[in-house]
Amino acid sequence: MEWIRVILLPGSVLPAQPAYGALIEALGPDVDAVAKDLELYASDAPPPGWSLDTEIDGVLREADSRGWETFHLLGYSGGGAAALAFTAKHPERLQSLTLLEAAWAGDWDWSPAHAELWKEYEALESLPPAQFMAAFIRLGVKPDVVLPPPPEGGPPPWMAKRPAGIRAFLNDFKVYDLDKERLAAFGRPVLFVLGGLSNPDDYGEVAERLSTVFPDFRLEVFPDRHHFDPPHRIEPDRLAAMLREHWERAT
């Protein structure tokens, strides 16, 4: 059996295994899929000096420990920003790139709507943790989306780390500059998956911009999904079939 090797990076909220468990099962037994947690959450607080480069180093260690010279890389949200950063720094290691509503780090002459949205993200920093999380989630979706109530019995223990982790992402995005020229030189297939109910001024604009950068770029929209009920959790079978096609193109 010829294995398909892929590293899956989660976003800033859900840990890797609950985020990707259903997708890994749907991918089947010939896919060696590693759901890798972010270095950001390796301890109780973000590591000193953490940045997307810290996540790049973590992906390299994971791949090297498995003897993977090349592999597919998939990242969601903040993990998508880390995947983009990895692609810019180590394109020779990747067979393909998949971005699930990836965030972007750095400036890009954004639209007024996108710039206004980021002012709202910056305003979150003054909120206490519970309000911070609720407001952060609301900004990720269209205004008319009905979000589920908080879980009964209170949040899971790992949620306590998330406000500080999300703040670390937002702060790094202000100063980290993804190299668009390096990304434009990446000739392998790139798939961007977008939820139709996600905030179009955020992930929709990132997808539109990236379509002008990568030479082999494909956008797939899941009309009924949004950033907090994403395809990899809600429609794993459909996404798995899409990924297999994407990876087949990369061979």
pLDDT number for residue 74: 98
| Confidence tier at 150 by pLDDT (50, 70, 90) | confident
Q: pTM for this structure?
A: 0.97
| Confidence tier at 16 by pLDDT (50, 70, 90) | very high
* CATH of 4-250 given 3.40.710.10, 3.40.50.2000, 3.40.50.10610, 3.40.50.1820: 3.40.50.1820
| Confidence tier at 2 by pLDDT (50, 70, 90) | confident
- pLDDT at residue 149 greater than cutoff 90: no
Q: For the stretch 178-195, what's the b/e string if a residue is b when 16 or more beta carbons lie within 10 angstroms of its beta carbon?
A: bebeebeebebbbbbbbb
**Tokens (6 digits) for 42:** 């390796």
- pLDDT at residue 179 greater than cutoff 90: yes
d(CA 10, CA 115): 25
pLDDT number for residue 154: 84
Give the domain ranges of the chain.
Answer: 4-250
Main-chain dihedrals φ then ψ at residue 216, nearest 5 degrees? -125, 80
What is the mean predicted confidence (pLDDT) over 38-54? 97
d(CA 251, CA 247): 7
pLDDT number for residue 84: 98
- pLDDT at residue 251 greater than cutoff 90: no
- pLDDT at residue 39 greater than cutoff 70: yes
User: What average pLDDT does the chain have?
Assistant: 96
| Confidence tier at 90 by pLDDT (50, 70, 90) | very high
- pLDDT at residue 1 greater than cutoff 70: no
How confident is the model over 107-146, as pLDDT tens digits?
999 999 999 999 999 999 889 887 999 999 999 999 999 9
What is the mean predicted confidence (pLDDT) over 148-157? 85
Label each residue of the chain as H, E or C: CCCEEEEEECCCCCCHHHHHHHHHHHHCCCEEEEECCCHHHCCCCCCCCCCHHHHHHHHHHHHHHCCCCCEEEEEECHHHHHHHHHHHHCHHHEEEEEEECCCCCCCCCCCHHHHHHHHHHHHHHHCCHHHHHHHHHHHCECCCCCCCCCCCCCCCHHHHHHHHHHHHHHHHHHHCCCCHHHHHCCCCCEEEEEECCECHHHHHHHHHHHCCCCCCEEEEEECCCCCCCCHHHHCHHHHHHHHHHHHHHHC
